[in-house]
């Protein structure tokens, strides 16, 4: 396999890992005001992410770094053209990390409420904007002969891209709700399952419309198969959730996201950033790639480093696999007076 093809596939795998893992992070954060009825609920929800969220973001750093090293022309054109959108995502990710770490630094209701709002907004925004960005990458953007982006920020806000954003937002919300049902116990587990069923209906409708349009315009025979697998997995996830099989439901949403990303990258190939101005101006795996020497060195580094990273992250998920419930916090959390009755009830619940 040619090294440019190999690194196109590896970058697709990195983005897949990022969306599968960070996707439920975004979903849980965005659902904080919906499922977090009081301070104990919110503590439970955020504790499910506590040991995992920063490790999940490593996939984004590696995906961005690999894109820069393997396809510098792609990186330059994409980050200059999508500068404002990517800046908004970066700011949201920074705010989100700060909010998760700082919300419990003071035992103050107003302090926590403000950070909770920050968590919600900074989780929902990237979930939406990543879909907008990748839909535009597949659709194509205005590039000139020098591969410079000639559009504006509002060029990116076309109907197809906005639909892509709604798809990723709905999928990540569903993924997060299913993850909460898998990782929690008690009332919040039941409410997460119920909400996941409702979100599943919206996600199926939006994903079917988006994948249908995408395959009609850019589809290939192989991506018709991956799109069909994504669709079946999504329906299966919603069905498994309805039967209380949270593990299978989470596997289904993960497979859905993975094969949806595979479909987008498969439709993109052999381009990495199509030009809507003229096909000759498009960036491809050939004209956007680094030298063969650079790609060769990267391949050896990836061959040694990737198994270590995967092993460490897999170990982390295994260690923190236990379900979490309100009783884990009932004797340690100070909550507002209006929640006192809930705390007393949770403290004596077996």
Identify whether the C-beta of residue 249 lies closer than 8 Å to the C-beta of residue 181: yes
Residue 182 CA, distance from chain mean position: 18
The yes-or-no verdict on residue 106 having pLDDT over 90 is no
- Looking at residue 331, its pLDDT comes to 54
- Looking at residue 314, its pLDDT comes to 86
Domain range spanning residue 342? Answer: 3-348
Identify whether the C-beta of residue 252 lies closer than 8 Å to the C-beta of residue 236: yes
Lowest mean pLDDT among 36-40, 54-58, 181-185, 344-348: 344-348
pLDDT grade for 1, boundaries at 50, 70 and 90: low
Residue 262 CA, distance from chain mean position: 14
324: DSSP letter = B
The 10s digit of each residue's pLDDT in 135-171 is: 999 999 999 888 888 888 888 999 999 999 999 999 9
Number of domains forming the structure of the chain = 1
Lowest mean pLDDT among 32-41, 44-53, 182-191, 340-349: 340-349
- Mean residue pLDDT of the chain comes to 88
Lowest mean pLDDT among 10-19, 166-175, 282-291: 282-291
Higher per-residue pLDDT: 332 or 209: 209
pLDDT grade for 251, boundaries at 50, 70 and 90: very high
- Looking at residue 340, its pLDDT comes to 41
Could you give the CA distance from residue 192 to residue 189 in angstroms, rounded to a whole number? 5
- Looking at residue 162, its pLDDT comes to 96
| H/E run at residue 283 | strand 283-284
- Looking at residue 180, its pLDDT comes to 94
Could you give the CA distance from residue 127 to residue 6 in angstroms, rounded to a whole number? 28
The 10s digit of each residue's pLDDT in 182-208 is: 999 888 999 999 999 999 999 999 999
């Amino acid at each position: 396999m040619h090294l440019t093809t190999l690194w196109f596939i590896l970058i697709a795998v990195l983005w897949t890992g990022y969306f599968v893992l960070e996707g439920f992070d975004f979903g849980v954060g965005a659902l904080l005001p919906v499922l977090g009825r009081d301070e104990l609920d919110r503590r439970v929800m955020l504790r499910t992410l506590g040991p995992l969220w920063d490790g999940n973001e490593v996939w984004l750093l590696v995906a961005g770094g690999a894109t820069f090293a393997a396809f510098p022309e792609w990186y330059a054109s994409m980050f200059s053209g999508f500068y404002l959108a990517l800046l908004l995502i970066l700011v949201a990710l920074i705010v989100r990390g700060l909010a998760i770490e700082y919300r419990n630094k003071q035992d103050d209701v107003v302090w926590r409420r403000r950070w909770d709002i920050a968590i919600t907004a900074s989780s929902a925004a990237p979930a939406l904007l990543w879909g907008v960005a990748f839909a535009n990458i597949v659709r194509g953007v205005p590039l000139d002969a020098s591969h410079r982006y000639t559009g504006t920020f509002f060029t990116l806000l076309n109907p197809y891209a906005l639909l892509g954003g709604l798809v990723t937002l709905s999928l990540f919300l569903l993924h997060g709700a299913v993850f909460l049902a898998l990782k929690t116990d008690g009332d919040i587990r039941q409410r997460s399952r119920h909400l996941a069923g409702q979100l599943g209906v919206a996600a199926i409708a939006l994903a079917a419309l988006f994948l249908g349009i995408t395959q009609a315009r850019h589809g290939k025979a192989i991506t018709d198969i991956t799109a069909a697998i994504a669709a079946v997995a999504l329906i299966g996830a919603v069905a498994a959730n309805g039967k209380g099989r949270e593990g299978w439901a989470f596997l289904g949403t993960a497979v859905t996201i993975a094969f949806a990303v595979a479909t987008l990258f498969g439709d993109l190939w052999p381009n990495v950033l199509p030009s809507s101005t003229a096909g000759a101006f498009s960036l491809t795996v050939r004209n956007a790639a680094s030298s063969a020497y650079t790609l060769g060195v990267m391949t050896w580094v990836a061959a040694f480093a990737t198994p270590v990273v995967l092993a460490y992250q897999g170990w982390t998920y295994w260690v923190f696999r236990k379900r979490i419930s309100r009783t884990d916090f009932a004797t340690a959390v100070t909550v507002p007076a209006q929640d006192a009755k809930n705390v007393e009830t949770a403290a004596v619940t077996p």
